[in-house]
Chain A
Amino acid sequence: MDTIMNPFSSGTRLRDMIRAIRACKTAAEERAVVRKECAAIRASINENDHDYRHRNLAKLMFIQMLGYPTHFGQMECLKLIASSGFPEKRIGYLGLMLLLDERQEVLMLVTNSLKQDLNHTNQYIVGLALCALGNICSAEMARDLAPEVERLLQFRDPNIRKKAALCSIRIIKKVPDLAENFINAAAALLKEKHHGVLISGVQLCIDLCRVSSEALEFFRKKCMDALVKTLKDVVNSPYTPEYDIAGIADPFLHIRLLKLLRVLGQGDADASDAMNDILAQVATKADTNRNAGNAILYECVETIMSIEDNGGLRVLAINILGRFLSNRDNNIRYVALNMLMKAISVDTQAVQRHRATILECVKDSDASIRKRALELIYLLVNESNVKPLTKELIDYLEVSDQEFKGDLTAKICSIVEKFSPDKIWYIDQMLKVLSEAGNFVKVEVCHALIVVITNATDLHGYAVRALYKAFQASDEQESLTRVAVWCVGEYGDMLVNNVGMLDLEDPVTVTESDAVDLVETAIKRHTSDATTKAMALVALLKLSSRFPSCSERIKEIVVQHKGSFLLELQQRSLEFNSIIEKHTNIRSALVERMPVLDEATFSGRRAGSVPTAVSTSTGPSTGASLKVPSGVSKPAAAPLVDLLDLSSDDNPVPSSSGSDFLQDLLGVDLSPAATQSGTQPSKSGTDVLLDLLSIGSPVQQSSSPVAGIFSSNQATKAPSSPLDGLTSPATQPVLAASPPAASPIIDLLDGLAPAPSIPEKNGPAYPSIVAFESSSLRIMFDFSKPPGNPQSTVIQATFTNLSSNNYTDFIFQAAVPKFLQLRLDPASGNTLPTGANSNVTQTLRVTNSQHGKKSLVMRIRISYKVSGKDVLEEGQISHFPRDL
């Protein structure tokens, strides 16, 4: 053969190219060389140059490996495959497998060549075609070429049979329907002597079992004895130099066979019984001084753990894992941890025995081992061992690597939340985590902590003092700062007066000015972000009322932010300053302590805060008592959740979240305040302030001023409230100086805020529709539009159970086309009792980006259980009223 044509021996230019690339000092040089080469190859391709074809391809393979695009070489591969010589075909097929980018046209073109080569008289060419087919075959090719492959499974040369077996795997994976054609042939392969054929045949059986239960049954019935015998032969086989690895005959075949036995034994007591003896033999015979021996042992343990129970074998397996775990070789320890993870579901007690060793592995210097061990420990935690384990983990947090702290912190927080025996312990542990690794703690975890603190009414004083101490002791940890600032704002007086001292506490002396110092430190830190600073401002406002003596100093700190570049901080600074300065008579009512946050609402929000195109919402497990329909008044706790959710972006209304937040913050306590005082001036005064502080928030609905106070939930603003405000002496001077606009104070304080929209008294009414009705279920939709936002629609869905049975686990899902955006609030419950009077409602918010052009349309799916049986109903709703 001509040397120019052969890339393996001649290689003049291929070698030159590789040398040139290796000589490149920089990536830019390399790119230049590659570009030049690619240009030359393209030119050569265009000239249809036969002589250089496969040298070009060899070059392209190298270039492709370096990560440059080489798609233009694909057609060259096809030409080489179609040529008659073996070397050309060989490199053509290799190129095809490497350069192919899953373009179906190319695959279609190659199908014919493959078919010819599968029927070639030269068995090496048949082998090439099988190998290529096994690596790249698509579903269509699988259907076209399956008969050829089936035939080749019986070819005389074992090297072809083994490749045909692996090729069959690809075919049945692509087209599972073809599996039954291969079952008999696969079973025949298990009786072969050639190791290559055996290993591929066993693998084919494993994959057949995965796609076809028929195959699984067949092998269980017909092949168990043969398989056990094969494994026995391999285990006891005399020295075979060809397959020997460290004195063990073909560990790869061992492992494959064990894997197939596992598949067959899982869930079948008879099959499991049949393999018990040989598994015991493998487990005792394996040479644990060699990696290959350990690999077999490892696979054997996994099989013992997976098949049906045989007490003796399980004990043996767990003991092997124990030995692995105390091995000095890190690889062995790693696989032991991996295996124990699977063993947990089989025998938790046995794994618990190794807890101390596993805990040591969490502290290992090797990141892979640490990660495995941490996941394992996480699964081992329960009510009885949570305290010592948490202590160990938190202690380790102090010394762990920075990169590991994220994972570790998340796991500790999760453990503490899940298993905390009491609240004081929870608070203590969380404070330790926050002090140690506060920067790694997720926002939701901080929110959860705050919710827990507010719920533990007898621990408020304890919590704030502990936070104060932790803040003083720790370096800058953002989330610790946030929680500390929030609590000092709320419970600052308890800090100073040592209210609610517990026996175990050391008394601290904190002056009012010390408490303000803390917040000032937080706000001045350059590492604090806008959220922290905003929280600090709120805390300062609260402290100004709790500690009148510090009021002047607080005012100074607040004023410093009036020039902040962040609108949010600037706005707060100005507003709070105005409250401190001018509205002392209502300030104390404004900044009253927050009511207890509702844990169930919070956890419900937390669970449902993943925004998706198709929103799904299930009623919280606590059920119907928890009503959170929006637009109607929420329980008083809900706005607080808004407050805590400052940074979450699932806010339904595209409002300026800051002022919304503020309004929530200040609005919350109004209802008790107003009812308690009951005096007219203070009430209307607060109302004005409520307006004053709800600057820029979009008007949600019209309601009376009193309702505005009491609902205090949405950015509800009563149109008439500014007028009420005129009677309030406190605000009169401000009002007098301003133009008689709808909300004069707003303009005064913030010229940038959008002009408040004037709400329509009654938005255009839309008729309710029966959105969906089947024999068992009716869904009614009532529509309303939030004023000032014609694109969005609030749909109140009412579900009625028309059957005579109660529905449980009721879930309503809806999907909309791209031009719509849909958000589902949680349903009022997940149980739908029978009868027309007991409904479940759910609020849907739809935003129509094509408002006026397209009507709403929606696909729905409802699933529920009737006396334990799952029911699924689906439908499409396209009869929405127009102009929604």
Chain B
Amino acid sequence: MTIRFVLMVNKQGQTRLAQYYEYLTLEERRALEGEIVRKCLARTEQQCSFVEHRNYKVVYRRYASLFFLVGVDNDENELAILEFIHLLVETMDRHFGNVCELDIMFHLEKAHFMLEEMVMNGCIVETSKSNILTPIQLMEKSS
């Protein structure tokens, strides 16, 4: 699976979590985030969840005030990525209990750890919520 980046932005367009699986300079990332977020946020609920931008295909999904955006290769299964976003949100929900923007902001590293357990080098590595959360819970217990 070739996920190129995972982004979480609020509805003001501020980035709340960003993980890239390919190297982009800071300027490129800022520009890319700006363009993509503008494009996606302007779309209505009825429109489809896929936006083509440069050589990326962006699959996005909105949860209340949070947008989850995943950039993928052109030959990726878009519907599966939508399902993946939902799985990510459910995993976070299970951990934080009805996850919200602030949970992610103040526990940025935990959000990253979860994502890290799910995606490695752009490929999905684990899809079981309990498998994903076990190491994180172990770590919490020990500290």
Contacts and interface: CB of A to CB of B under 8 A. Distances in A.
B79 A94 contact: no
B126 interface: yes
Interface stretch (A220-228, A328-336, A704-712, A851-859): A328-336
Interface in A341-377: 365-369, 371
A255 B77 contact: yes
A298 B79 contact: yes
A11 interface: yes
A343 to B, nearest CB: 14
Contacts of B29: 67
Interface string B1-44: 10000000000000111110101011001100100000000010
Interface string B53-69: 00000000000000000
A432 B120 CA distance: 53
A15 interface: yes
Interface residues of A, number: 73
B48 A58 contact: no
Contacts of A58: 108-109
B51 interface: yes
Contacts of B125: 162-163, 166, 196, 199-200
A7 B109 contact: yes
- Interface size band for B: 35 or more
A196 B30 CA distance: 33
B83 interface: yes
Contact of A131 (B1, B43, B47, B120): B120
Contacts of A541: none
B142 interface: yes
Interface in A367-418: 367-369, 371
A188 B87 CA distance: 28
Contact of A94 (B26, B43, B112, B130): B112
A94 B123 contact: no
Given A135-B21, A243-B128, A295 B80 contact: yes
Interface in B94-143: 105-110, 112-113, 116, 120-121, 123-131, 135, 138-140, 142-143
Nearest to A58: B109
Contacts of B143: 1, 6, 8-9, 87
Interface stretch (A246-254, A311-319, A762-770): A246-254
A195 interface: yes
Contact of A159 (B46, B129, B131): B131
A11 B16 CA distance: 18
B82 interface: yes
A170 B121 contact: yes
B78 A251 contact: no
Contacts of A292: 79, 83
A127 B139 CA distance: 13
Given A101-B23, A124-B138, A196-B127, A252 B80 contact: yes
B120 A331 contact: no
Interface in A288-345: 291-292, 294-295, 298-299, 330-335, 338
A100 B22 CA distance: 11
B132 to A, nearest CB: 9
A588 B125 CA distance: 79
A97 B78 CA distance: 26
B123 A242 contact: no
Given A135-B21, A166-B121, A196-B131, A331 B15 contact: no
Contacts of A291: 79, 82-83
B123 A169 contact: yes
Given A135-B120, A166-B121, A253-B127, A18 B105 contact: yes
B48 A195 contact: no
B109 A67 contact: no
Nearest to A251: B83
B77 A69 contact: no
B10 to A, nearest CB: 11
A252 B83 CA distance: 9
Interface of A: 1, 6-9, 11, 14-15, 18, 22, 58, 61-62, 65-69, 86-87, 90-91, 94, 97-98, 100-102, 124, 127, 131, 134-135, 159, 162-163, 166-167, 169-170, 195-196, 199-200, 203, 242-243, 245, 250-253, 255-256, 291-292, 294-295, 298-299, 330-335, 338, 365-369, 371
13 contacts: A14-B106, A22-B105, A67-B26, A90-B113, A166-B123, A167-B120, A167-B121, A195-B127, A196-B125, A200-B125, A243-B128, A292-B79, A368-B47
Q: Which 10 A-B pairs have the closest CB atoms?
A: A295-B79, A330-B48, A366-B47, A196-B126, A295-B80, A166-B120, A242-B128, A67-B30, A334-B48, A134-B121
